[in-house]
Amino acid sequence: MIVQEIMTPNPVTVEVTDSIGDVIDVLNDLDIRHVPVTDNGILVGMVSDRDLRDFSLPMMVSFNNPDKAIERLKRTVGEIMYSDVITVGSESEVSELAEIMIDHKIGAVPVCDQIEGRLIGIVSYVDVLRAAVDEL
């Protein structure tokens, strides 16, 4: 089985200049855990709910200063995103993808066109589990 068969094509993305507050809204509204970060359509990073939770924890402690919390939410996602993104091609084997996810302890992997390098999809650990169940 190949990645193209299980990926979510044309995933929702956020721009590197989007505010952290806006990105939190995207994740919550769409009930997703990971979102690719782009700069004018080029993949430059990933951000997860875990990244946002780690960023938000100090903010929660500072609720006695709401202005400080609001200022933190206005910062850009580019400040907290993970920029060393591992990607796969759509023709990669799902078993290879699963090994990458396990080895690097990541929950989602962007799928990029191997020639142009543009983002064409995303695969989460849930997609891999669904594929495994379908094969049983």
How far is the C-alpha of 113 from the C-alpha of 29, rounded, in Å? 28
Where does the chain have alpha helices with state H?
20-30, 49-61, 66-74, 94-104, 125-135
| pTM for the model | 0.86
Q: Tens digit of pLDDT for each residue in 68-115?
A: 777 778 889 999 899 999 999 999 999 999 999 999 999 999 999 888
The token pair that represents 55 in the structure block? 């960023």
> Between 9 and 70, where is the model more confident?
9
Residues 104-128, mean pLDDT to the nearest whole number: 93
**Could you write out the three-class secondary structure of 76-90?**
EHHHCCECCCCCECC
pLDDT at position 104: 96
Residues 18-23, mean pLDDT to the nearest whole number: 93
pLDDT at position 70: 74
pLDDT at position 20: 92
Sketch out the chain's domains with CATH numbers: 3-135 (3.10.580.10)
pLDDT at position 55: 74
Q: How confident is the model at residue 66 (pLDDT cuts 50, 70, 90)?
A: low
Asked if residues 106 and 85 have their Cβ atoms less than 8 Å apart, the reply is no
Q: Tens digit of pLDDT for each residue in 30-63?
A: 999 999 999 988 899 999 988 887 776 555 555 5
Residue position matching structure tokens 């995303």: 122
